[in-house]
Amino acid sequence: MPTQPLRTQVGILGAGPAGLLLAQLLHRAGIDSIVVDQRSREDIEETVKAGIVESPAAEVLATTVSDRVYRDGAKHDGIAFHFDGQAHRFDFQDLVGRSVYLYPQHEVLKDLIAARIDAGVAPLFEHTATSVEDADSDRPRIVGTTADGSGFEIEADVVVGADGSGSIARIPVVGSQQGGFFREYPFAWYGVLVEAPPSSEELIYSRSEEGFVLISSRNREVQRMYFQCDPATDPASVSDDEIWAKLQAGVTTDELKRGPIFRKDVLRFRSFVAHRLRHGRVFLMGDAAHTVPPTGAKGMNLAISDVLWLNRALREFFGSGSETLLESYETDALDRIWKAQHFSYWMTTMLHIAPDASDFDRRRGLGELRLVTGSRAAQEYLAEAYTGWDYGVDGWRD
């Protein structure tokens, strides 16, 4: 153990989008923070995860971190649903006057890490937290070990758990890593990264007799595609030919552009909301507080909402000493969290076919897709949620 713990105002566990963005917003308000992460900078900047940035999230990133999301991101004015041999486009601009941006999460992370380094407070990489202590005191601590095996300790006025879906910061907040409301799904996504040009300029969400397919993209050279699979599937057990057959079965109109498949993985997912988002001086946000199935592209965008609420509360706390907004953080954040949970659940169940689906379930599912694509009101509902509800939080622009 170090003789002297590092001391800061806000100790942030996790250098994902949530932790790094909070550090950036606090820095703009003159509030000190230290961010720790178990991974190396290189690993964080190379891990391919989220791709779709909602319209309000793009504005937050462009205003407070970097406008690369607008300069280098691809603006998508819609998505397509393919089912029953037909393609239906949701024209977001026409429906709600908004777009989303295809700007991969690792690019967001590069921008956020560069901003931390520019501010002279680089995250502490390769620092693995083993516990968060003293939540009930006014000096909570993050305790852990560095890559060389030595101990570290960060003592702060407030500790924020932004350590993702396997969060250890949940333990002092809800009593265990699992304490929360959740729902499991009987299917997973088989995902591939392919070296090929885009097959479609916009995302294609498809539901066929075989189940769900998503045709997505990372950039002009690398494409990300998924099909529904059994959660127990071994990624190595599926041949390239089988992969292309499954993907092609979901696309009703176009021949997919093929190329070498250089990564195969199986992504299991569930819906989860922690029982509490705060205990004493320890707060949860982002995937540590909640996870959603990726179908609605909500995870990172939702994390940004938590960041904005917590940023507002911490600015008030360090500015005036008032805990009023810290006390309302959980209620404030949960409003959007449950809306996003519903939207992600709805998109997931509408577009997948459960392994035990009856003929009734399959036909009802097609009826739902026809209803949604055949009604302007339903299309607006989807477009408004997909492109992002306004955050409705102040205190982040300055």
Ligand X SMILES: Cc1cc2nc3c(=O)[nH]c(=O)nc-3n(C[C@H](O)[C@H](O)[C@H](O)COP(=O)(O)OP(=O)(O)OC[C@H]3O[C@@H](n4cnc5c(N)ncnc54)[C@H](O)[C@@H]3O)c2cc1C
Positions in the binding site for ligand X (CB under 6 A): 13-19, 36-39, 44, 49-52, 105, 128-129, 162-164, 168, 267, 286-287, 294, 297-301, 303
Q: Does residue 76 have an active-site annotation?
A: yes
Q: What is the DSSP string of 69-85?
A: HHHTSEEE-EEEEEETT
- Please say which residue, 220 or 363, places its beta carbon nearer to ligand X: 220
Strand (E) or helix (H) holding 369 = helix 359-374
Q: Is 17 exposed, middle or buried (0-12, 13-18, 19+ CB in 10 A)?
A: buried
Q: Rounded to a whole number, what is the largest CA-CA distance in the chain?
A: 67
- Please say which residue, 18 or 326, places its beta carbon nearer to ligand X: 18
Shortest approach of ligand X to residue 60 CB, angstroms? 12
179 touches 30 (CB < 8 A): no
Shortest approach of ligand X to residue 322 CB, angstroms? 27
Q: Does residue 205 have an active-site annotation?
A: yes
Q: How far apart are CA 53 and CA 242, in angstroms?
A: 31
Shortest approach of ligand X to residue 303 CB, angstroms? 4
Q: Does residue 345 have an active-site annotation?
A: no
Shortest approach of ligand X to residue 226 CB, angstroms? 8
- Please say which residue, 89 or 106, places its beta carbon nearer to ligand X: 106
103, 185, 190, 205: which one is catalytic? 205
- Please say which residue, 183 or 364, places its beta carbon nearer to ligand X: 183
51 touches 218 (CB < 8 A): yes
Residue among 34, 323, 69 at smallest CA distance from 162: 34
Q: Which amino acid is at 264?
A: K
Q: How many CB atoms lie within 10 A of CB 89?
A: 15
Strand (E) or helix (H) holding 61 = helix 55-64
Q: Does residue 298 have an active-site annotation?
A: yes
- Please say which residue, 68 or 362, places its beta carbon nearer to ligand X: 68
| Alpha helix stretches (DSSP H) within 29-160 | 41-46, 55-64, 68-71, 92-96, 105-118
Shortest approach of ligand X to residue 198 CB, angstroms? 16
Shortest approach of ligand X to residue 90 CB, angstroms? 16
Q: How far apart are CA 308 and CA 296, in angstroms?
A: 21
- Please say which residue, 96 or 129, places its beta carbon nearer to ligand X: 129
CA geometry: angle at 19 spanning 280 and 3, to 5°? 65
Q: Does residue 246 have an active-site annotation?
A: no
5, 17, 76, 246: which one is catalytic? 76
101, 103, 386, 391: which one is catalytic? 386
17, 56, 294, 391: which one is catalytic? 294
27, 298, 352, 391: which one is catalytic? 298
Residue 309 makes CB contacts below 8 A (sequence gap 6+) with 329, 332, 333, 393
Catalytic residue IDs: 76, 205, 294, 298, 386
